[in-house]
Amino acid sequence: QVQLVQSGSELKMPGASVKVSCKASGYTFNYFAIIWVRQAPGQGLEWLGWIHTNTGNPTYAQGFTGRFLFSLDTSVSTAYLHIRSLKSEDTAVYYCARASSILTGNFDYWGQGTLVTVSS
């Protein structure tokens, strides 16, 4: 069965970096893009962007260029979200999901989410 399993919760100091992993199984990894979405405590969903799993080409949402980096290790069917220079406002649950098409919004399987807490 299709699964996206994310890495565990992280507690980081402001200014530090964090890397969230998203391991896919149950399907051919490079047939689907991976999207990244975050949800701050008590808030709505926020689009971060996506990565093309064939080319590795990332597309970042406005406001998420520079500190946010999407990457892949196709040998282990895993996508990564790396955030550097963390700020308190980056505290959120970060989700990955697979996408058959960014255009159609068919984001059918999601990871369980990774809570990143930024606090001194």
Partner 1 sequence: QSALTQPPSASGSPGQSVTISCTGTRSDVGGYNYVSWFQQHPGTAPKLLIFEVNKRPSGVPDRFSGSKSGNTASLTVSGLQAEDEADYYCSSYAGSNNVIFGGGTKLTVL
Site residues for partner 1 per CB under 8 A:
35, 37, 44-47, 49-50, 59, 61-62, 95, 97, 102-108, 110-113
Rounded to an integer, what distance in angstroms lies between the CA atom of residue 75 and that of residue 58? 18
CB of 40 to partner 1, least distance (A): 12
CB of 74 to partner 1, least distance (A): 20
CB of 120 to partner 1, least distance (A): 26
Look-up of token digits 């999407």:
70
Rounded to an integer, what distance in angstroms lies between the CA atom of residue 76 and that of residue 110? 18
Residue 81: which of 111, 41, 106 has the closest Cα?
A: 111
User: Between 62 and 75, whose beta carbon lies closer to partner 1?
Assistant: 62
User: Between 30 and 59, whose beta carbon lies closer to partner 1?
Assistant: 59
Rounded to an integer, what distance in angstroms lies between the CA atom of residue 107 and that of residue 24? 14
